[in-house]
Amino acid sequence: MKWPYTPLPKTDIHTHSEFSKCSVNTTVCGNITMAVLKGLEAIAITDHTQHVLKVGFEKYIEKILRLRESNSTGLKVLTGLEVDIKLDGEPDVSRRMLRKLDVVIGALHNLPYGKSFVESYRNVILKALRSNWIDVLAHPTYVDEQNINLPIELIYEICEEARENSVVVELNSNHKCPSDEFIKICVDTGVTLTPVSDSHILGNIGAYDWQLQTLKRLNVLNDVKWLTVDLLLKKRRKGDF
């Protein structure tokens, strides 16, 4: 299929499979087939750590690797996880486990109640970005199941840390995230971006209408620094991430 989202890269490195409880109809096998149909060059399976651990990490990796090997289309299939960022900025699984993966997505899904939201958010995210375990920061303005507004100075601080630490920020069509302001500052400050579907529904894999329209509307479509999968894999092999 002709790629309808040029100049966006033909990659989707945040998708869920049957190993995530919240998956509707996605599976490792189905995601790979859909990625080929959509004209993608690379897809990552990045299920939630706590869901994967219930079934077994080894079983998860084995399944992805088995289907990667039996796929002869040239599509790159990456192993990954969507890892929860703990309140101390650390991953919710061991770093040893993360070193076995092709891509690590770091996500802050919840913050403790009762504290100043912005202050807690700032502490956790900045610590995590400096902690050298995250390749891609997931849906940065979607926390506690809602889209949030962040002060502009904080967005600049986050972008600065992301760029300094080679952390990529995702453009996530599942949550329509980050916010316009966040995207504009990422582009202005040279943060590397990657489009993702964060798909729990098969048909959404590699569907980037939201990303394309948003970047056009913000008038930054041709100014984005995109992540390439070759760069991601090279950096991981060197241990830069």
Site map 21..50 versus Zn ion, x via CB under 5 A: ------------------------------
Residue with smaller CB distance to Zn ion, 104 or 107: 107
Residue found by looking up tokens 């991430």 in the block: 241
Measured torsion, CA atoms of residues 198, 114, 121, 90, in degrees rounded to the nearest 10: -80
Residue with smaller CB distance to Zn ion, 139 or 236: 139
Residue with smaller CB distance to Zn ion, 199 or 214: 199
Write down the least CB distance from residue 197 to Zn ion, Å: 9
Write down the least CB distance from residue 231 to Zn ion, Å: 22
Residue with smaller CB distance to Zn ion, 54 or 234: 54
- Judged by CB under 5 A, the residue of 108, 129, 198, 214 near Zn ion is 198
- Judged by CB under 5 A, the residue of 18, 82, 84, 102 near Zn ion is 82
Sole window of 25-33, 107-115, 119-127, 203-211 interacting with Zn ion (rule: CB under 5 A) = 107-115
Q: Cα angle at 220 between 104 and 83, to 5 degrees?
A: 15
Query: Nearest CA to 144 among 165, 170, 117, 166?
Result: 117
Write down the least CB distance from residue 100 to Zn ion, Å: 19
Q: In terms of C-beta density within 10 A (0-12 exposed, 13-18 middle, 19 or more buried), how is residue 59 classed?
A: exposed
Write down the least CB distance from residue 105 to Zn ion, Å: 7
Considering CB under 5 A, how many residues would be counted as binding Zn ion? 3
Write down the least CB distance from residue 70 to Zn ion, Å: 25
Residue with smaller CB distance to Zn ion, 12 or 198: 198
Write down the least CB distance from residue 169 to Zn ion, Å: 14
Q: Are 28 and 62 in contact (CB under 8 A)?
A: no
Residue with smaller CB distance to Zn ion, 109 or 235: 109
Residue with smaller CB distance to Zn ion, 93 or 234: 93
Sole window of 61-69, 106-114, 151-159, 203-211 interacting with Zn ion (rule: CB under 5 A) = 106-114
Contact call for residue 107 and Zn ion (CB under 5 A): yes
Binding site for Zn ion (CB under 5 A): 82, 107, 198
